[in-house]
Amino acid sequence: MNPVLPQRWRWLALLLFSGLLGGVLRALHFPAGVLLGCMVVGILMSVQWGQMDLPTPFFVLAQAVLGSLMAQSMRPPALTKVLADWPLFLGINLLVISAAGLLGWLLVRRKVLPGTTALWGIAPGAASAMVLMAESHGADMRLVAFMQYTRVVLVTAVAAGVAHLAMTVATVPAVPDQSTGLQNLYHVGATLLLIIAAALAAQRWHIPAGGLVLALVCGTTLQALGVLVIELPPALLVLAYAVIGWSIGLRFTREILLHAWQALPMMLAAIAALMGLSLVLALLLVLLVGVAPLTAYLATSPGGADSVVVIAATSAVDASFVMAMQLVRFLMVLVLGPRVTAWLARR
């Protein structure tokens, strides 16, 4: 029987150890290091001393911050590239999404994971967004997170290794560095208003993953019209990733961890199959379209989108092409995901 720890000491321990582990992972340039560190600490705390409830408004605000971060990447150059080559972006991403759906359906048929969890867990979109969407549509958020972040770590590690081997010249970051200081307090204030408005509307109308969806759609639209320049304070990004990590980790139980461990071999096989298909699609882009090999590989890598975009920004590749391909896939999964998942679940 574990000793009972007062609630205030649990929260203090959660903040302290999350800061330590998240800081270490971030210093090591680990993908989504703060989020993963907070999720791991949340899991350990929940298993050791029982589940802790995170206030819902904090969670919705974190969703809105994540949506604004994604909208920030949808600048006019990226949108122009998508519109000019829309058949290519649509076709490649449909193949990746279809393959992921088939693999998820096979896992569901073999009852590797309960319900439609496997369909969400293999979905090749932004991992954090898929976890949020999964909960809103009845899947087990904890197992989806386990599968999504296992995929993120594997894909990112392989992509980073390939990029390191492929680079032959020094490169300059192609996208803004989120760690740099703020440039314009007016832009920051307008971005914070977007985040708060999206979160309030999501709670008011009970929109599934509404904070993320509303901030992404409204932020992209306003930015494209020149009305808004999205600028996010680095500290706010860290807090948002921490809240999302805690919201996932604090829901784990010993039983969930045991089930996830038993399903791990099949999860790894499905992830490897998805990565293999992405490699084939990258070869097709190189041979048929003339895209540079490393650009094609990063563009077709099955997420997380944030991590792949960071790798692209510091490598000798066409970063805007990679960014656009990853974000188009995320939007397609966001729109088609619930419908495809329900359709596959019925079969």
pLDDT tens string, the chain, 347 residues long: the values are 455 667 778 889 899 999 999 889 888 876 667 888 888 898 888 888 776 778 888 989 988 998 888 788 777 777 777 778 888 888 998 998 888 888 888 888 887 777 778 888 888 876 666 777 777 777 777 788 888 878 877 887 788 777 767 764 444 444 444 444 556 889 999 999 999 999 999 988 877 678 888 998 899 899 988 899 999 998 898 898 898 888 888 877 777 777 778 888 888 888 899 999 989 999 999 998 888 888 888 888 887 666 676 677 667 777 778 877 887 887 788 777 777 776 766 66
Burial label for 205, CB within 10 Å (0-12, 13-18, 19+), is: exposed
DSSP state letter for 126: -
CA 207 to the chain's CA centroid = 19
| pLDDT value of residue 257 | 78
How far is the C-alpha of 112 from the C-alpha of 116, rounded, in Å?
Answer: 10
Do 122 and 270 form a contact (C-beta atoms < 8 A)?
yes
* Residue keyed to tokens 């985040």: 195
Do 123 and 141 form a contact (C-beta atoms < 8 A)?
no
Q: Going along 146-223, which residue ranges are E strands?
A: none
How far is the C-alpha of 285 from the C-alpha of 304, rounded, in Å?
Answer: 20
Q: Which two tokens stand for residue 218?
A: 């409204």
| pLDDT value of residue 200 | 95
How far is the C-alpha of 281 from the C-alpha of 301, rounded, in Å?
Answer: 9
Q: Which of 55, 330, 58 is nearest to 199 (CA)?
A: 58
Q: Which of 313, 321, 275 is nearest to 296 (CA)?
A: 321
Q: Going along the chain, which residue ranges are E strands?
A: none
| pLDDT value of residue 189 | 94
Q: Which of 96, 92, 123 is nearest to 344 (CA)?
A: 123
* Residue keyed to tokens 């509404």: 210
Task: Output the CA–CA distances (angstroms, integers) from residue 129 to 10, 36, 132, in the order listed.
Answer: 27, 14, 5
Do 72 and 49 form a contact (C-beta atoms < 8 A)?
no
Do 141 and 131 form a contact (C-beta atoms < 8 A)?
yes
Residue 273: Cβ within 10 Å count = 16
| pLDDT value of residue 183 | 63
How far is the C-alpha of 193 from the C-alpha of 180, rounded, in Å?
Answer: 21
